[in-house]
Structure 1
Amino acid sequence: MSSAEPRRIVLLRHAKADWPQVPDRERPLADRGRKDAPVAGRKLADTGIHFDLALCSTATRTRETWKLAVPELPHRPKTVYEERLYEASPGELIALLNETPDDVRNVILIGHNPGIQGLAEVLAEAADDEARERMSRRGFPAAAFAVLGFDAEWKSLEPGTATLIDYWAPSE
C-alpha cells in the first residue's frame, strides 16, 4: 500500500445524550445533541474523506447521532450496526477494526467514551501538533471526532501504528 494514500479512521463520539429513566443503551439524544450531530456531519464532510464503511454502536444515542450526521456527507457509506462497540475498550475496538476487509479504505466508527478517546490516544503514536494540542485541551466531548491515518492492512492495526491528522469538537 502506498504511503501517499493512507487509510483513514475517524472516531466519532455520539452527540450529547439525555438522561431519562431508561436503560443506558436506550438513552436518546438531548436537544443539544440533535443540534450538534448535523454540525459534526458537516465538519466530517469538510475533511474530504470518502467513507467506505461506518461502524456504529447499537445504542440509541449513537444511532441517532449517525442518522443526523450522515445526510451532511456527500456519500453515504455502508453502515453496520455493531453490538460490540457499546462499552468497548480500546483493545476491543482495535480487534473489531482488525476485522475490516482490506478493500475498505476509510472507516468511521461511531461510539462511546471512554473507548473512543482511549482508542485515539492508543493508536496515535505520531500526531499533527495542533490536532494533538486541541484534543489534549478539549478531551473528547460529545460529538467530537478524531481523524487518524494508517498505512497498512487492517489486520496490522495496533497501538502506535496510526497518526492523528485532525481533531474537531463542537464549541461549548
Structure 2
Amino acid sequence: MKTLYLLRHAKSDTRHHDGDDFGRALSPRGRRAASSIGRLMATRGWTPQFVHCSTAARARQTWDGVVTGLHAIPMETFGEGNRTPPVVYHDRLYLSTPEVMIEVLRETPPVCENALLIAHNPGMENLVRRLCGPGSDAQEVEKVRRKYPTAALSIITVEGASWRNIGVAPSRLTRFVRPADLDETPPPADILLP
C-alpha cells in the first residue's frame, strides 16, 4: 500500500505581482497556512518520504512553509526519520493535468511508502476526484466536492506495492484537510503543540 499526500499550493498574493503568474509569491495568509499544514502533518505522523513540487514560486514557497511547520514540532514528538525529505521540482507540474501528476508520482523511488505532491488547480482537484475510489470516506469526498481551496491537503491510499500502479490500482480518499479545518482538527491527545 502507498500513501499520497496531495497538497494544493497555499494562497498567493494576487495584488502584488507584475502579471507573471509563475512567479507569484505566497500571501502572508498563505505562508501561515503552509506552516500550519506542516505542523499538522508532523503531529499526525503524515510525514512524507519524498516530495514532488511544481517549480512555480507559490508551490516552492508552500513547500518551504510545510518544512517550517514540520520543524516546529519537537524531535521526541516527531519520532525517528528525516523531517526534510528529498524534493524534486518539476516544471511540468505547473498548471498540469491529472495525467501529468500521475506520471510524476510514478517516478517516486520504489523504497518510499508515501510521497507528497504540491501542485495547482484545477489539476489537483481533478486528480483527487479521480482517485476517490470505492471505500473513500464519504464525508471527506463531500468536502472535496464542495470546494478545493488553496493549501488543502488530501490523503489517498493506493493498493499495491508499486508507484507504477498509481491511477490504475484501487485507491481511496481517507482525509481532506482545509486550512479552515485546522482549528477544528485537534492534535492527538498525547501530542502538545508548542
Same-fold call, TM cutoff 0.5 = yes
Query: What SS is found at the alignment partner of 1:171?
Result: helix
Give the counterpart of 1:115 among 108, 123, 128. 123
Structure 2: runs of 5 or more not aligned: 71-77, 182-194
Give the counterpart of 1:7 among 2, 10, 14. 2
Offset of residue 159 of structure 1:
5.0
Offset of residue 82 of structure 1:
1.1
Contact kept? 1:12, 1:109, Cα under 8 Å: yes
Size of the aligned set, in residue pairs, is 166
Contact kept? 2:52, 2:104, Cα under 8 Å: no
C-alpha distance after superposition, 1:44-99 (max 9, x if no partner): 22331231101111000011111011122242211111111111100111111122
Contact kept? 1:124, 1:163, Cα under 8 Å: yes
Query: What SS is found at the alignment partner of 1:122?
Result: helix
Give the counterpart of 1:129 among 126, 130, 138. 138
For residues 38 and 119 of structure 2, the distance between their equivalents in structure 1, rounded to whole angstroms, comes to: 15
Give the equivalent residue in structure 1 for 2:179. 170
Query: What SS is found at the alignment partner of 1:107?
Result: strand
Give the counterpart of 1:40 among 37, 42, 65. 37
Structure 1: runs of 5 or more not aligned: 1-5
Query: What SS is found at the alignment partner of 1:52?
Result: coil
Offset of residue 21 of structure 1:
1.4
> Residue type matched to 1:50 in 2?
T
Query: What SS is found at the alignment partner of 1:10?
Result: strand
Quote the RMSD (CA, aligned, Å): 1.6
Offset of residue 166 of structure 1:
0.3
For residues 30 and 47 of structure 2, the distance between their equivalents in structure 1, rounded to whole angstroms, comes to: 24
For residues 145 and 168 of structure 2, the distance between their equivalents in structure 1, rounded to whole angstroms, comes to: 18
Identity level (%):
35
Give the counterpart of 2:165 among 153, 156, 163. 156
For residues 47 and 56 of structure 2, the distance between their equivalents in structure 1, rounded to whole angstroms, comes to: 25
For residues 18 and 159 of structure 1, the distance between their equivalents in structure 2, rounded to whole angstroms, comes to: 36
| 1:18-37 alignment, distance < 5 Å | 18-19=13-14, 20-37=17-34
TM-score normalised to the size of structure 1? 0.90
TM-score normalised to the size of structure 2? 0.80
Higher Rg of the two aligned structures = 2
